[in-house]
Structure 1
Amino acid sequence: MRILLLVPALLLAACQSAGSTPKVGSDAWLEKVDRQLAVSDGQGHGPDYGSQEWCNVVHFRLYGQAATKPVPCDRAWMERVELEMKKR
């Protein structure tokens, strides 16, 4: 009987820990990227999260060079950012 009670508890715990990773593109994800790559200074100075300027700075922080043209700043670009950040 104890095993039957333990299984749902373990499943619930697994779901909660998996949910702690912010969804790519969400406000929480934008904040995570901003903190990890030091886009802003933590005092509200810097480009607005998700703006074109912000995305260009993220690109610079990831690759060490300015983009030759504005980065797309779309969902596909954010997915690439997420993959690149996982390598660090």
Structure 2
Amino acid sequence: MRIVMLFPALLLAACQTMAPTEAVGSQAWLEQVDRQLAVSDGQGHGPDYGSQEWCNVVHFRLYGKASVEPVPCDQAWMEKVDQEMKKR
């Protein structure tokens, strides 16, 4: 019986970690996006969070194609990223 009750709780917890829940643009949000999209390798190798290079990689990971021009990397762009992450 405990296993039956534990499964829905674990499933709910997993679903909650799929989309960023931190304030968009905050350090915690940037870290969460970085982890979800595997922008860095987890050992400190990769572009700095929020840098132009980081934003370009996030764009590539989300849409599967490089942007012709650098992405804006501003609050409005981060809001769009947040919405796209929540769709997944």
RMSD: 0.4
Q: Highest Rg: 1 or 2?
A: 1
Query: Match of 1:12?
Result: none
Query: Match of 2:52?
Result: 52
Supply the distance in 2 between the matched residues of 1:25 and 1:83 (Cα, whole angstroms): 13
Deviation at 1:56, TM superposition (A): 0.1
Identical amino acids, percent of aligned pairs: 82
Deviation at 1:64, TM superposition (A): 0.2
Per-residue CA deviations over 1:18-77 (Å, capped at 9, x if unaligned) read xxx210000000000000000000000000000000000000000000000000000000
Q: Say which structure, 1 or 2, has more relative contact order (CA 8 Å, 6+ apart).
A: 2
TM-score, structure 1 normalization: 0.76
TM-score, structure 2 normalization: 0.76
Aligned pairs, how many? 68
Q: Structure 1: which 4+ aligned runs deviate by more than 4 Å?
A: none
Query: Match of 2:32?
Result: 32
Give the unaligned 5+ runs of structure 1: 1-20
Deviation at 1:78, TM superposition (A): 0.1
Give the unaligned 5+ runs of structure 2: 1-20
